Amino acid sequence: MNIFITGSNGFIGKRLSEVALKENFQCTLSMRNHSGDSLNNDNLSYVYRTIASNTDWSGAFSSIDCVIHTAALVHQMNGADNNHYQDINTYGTLNLAQQAAGSGVKRFIFISTIKVNGEHTAADLPFKPNDSYVPCDPYGLSKYEAEVGLRKIAKDTGIEVVIIRPPLVYGPGVKGNFASMMRWLSKALPLPLGAIHNKRSLVALDNLVDLIVTCVNHPNAANETFLVSDDEDVSTSELLSKLGEALGGSSRLLPIPEALLEFFAKLLGKHAVAQRLLGSLQVDITKTKEQLNWAPPFSVDESLKKTAQYYLEHQ
């Protein structure tokens, strides 16, 4: 099986590339430049292109069976406007898929985002793959529009499209807000988050990669949309407590009432930050488990330990 991975030096793509090679896939890794081409394997080759609406992918898909598109302009990147997101995440994706289909690629796996479902859920009312919602923020909207376009390409060309929508992905080398949490906890800083009773779905990097690999040639994955998680929802307080323990210490969590935290967050103009910390976001992966006969191979606790160990070794 010959696979083509975009964003292969990114957080998801790098780990996916390592696992795919261990599984004896013939891999072509796509990246912007030579800075990430450190893997050395007989089953490996490289392509150097950027993801954009006008990228010429001629010759890139020779003998490729499946394209796995992990590259994206993510919402944490500062300075991006609507046009940037759309050019890379929407038109860049559709250009890639259209040329892959024209080259005879059989399957296209798109790593989307749970933001296509929405930003938050009521407790115990998780998102499902067929929920109808149009995102408001530029990142989520660009992924939604890519999904719509990919389904049309699949219908017009016959290429099989698989869409995977992960929530927050964590694992060794994670950056952003998750890395900030580890910094706070490792410094034993007191955090006013000890009385949060929300429920949030997360997905460990290795669990997400395992699902992606499953979708490469599973017959029941063709032209389907899947949600993914660790299948073990946690509150913000539980997550911080578990992560603090994984880091070798104890978290100093102050039991400040949620209502008071929400009040001060609004007062400071930090409503979006408060929503991520205090609100719920759950996903229902029943379809994923049943249709693919799949279950997350790694628990939250062991995945947090891997993440914390990597952080402690590289800080």
Domain parsing of the chain, residue ranges: 2-171+202-232+282-300, 176-197+234-278
pLDDT at residue 273, as a whole number: 76
pLDDT at residue 270, as a whole number: 77
Angle CA 143–145–151, to nearest 5? 105
**Catalytic residue positions, numbered:** 139
pLDDT at residue 136, as a whole number: 87
**3-class DSSP state of 104:** coil
CA 228/CA 274 separation, integer angstroms: 24
pLDDT at residue 79, as a whole number: 56
User: Could you give phi then psi for residue 76, rounded to 5 degrees?
Assistant: -75, -15
List the one residue out of 176, 167, 189 whose CA is nearest residue 247.
189
Strand pairing report for 66-69 and 2-6: parallel
pLDDT at residue 42, as a whole number: 76
CATH class given for the domain over 2-171+202-232+282-300? alpha beta
Please list the rounded mean pLDDT of every run of 10 residues in the chain (315 residues). 95 96 95 73 88 95 97 72 91 98 98 96 92 92 97 98 98 94 90 92 98 98 98 96 92 88 80 82 98 98 97 92
CA 253/CA 151 separation, integer angstroms: 46
Q: Which parts of the chain fold into alpha helices (H)?
A: 11-22, 82-85, 93-102, 138-157, 176-186, 205-217, 236-246, 258-267, 271-278, 286-292, 300-314
List the one residue out of 63, 29, 67 whose CA is nearest residue 49.
29
pLDDT at residue 271, as a whole number: 73
pLDDT at residue 38, as a whole number: 66
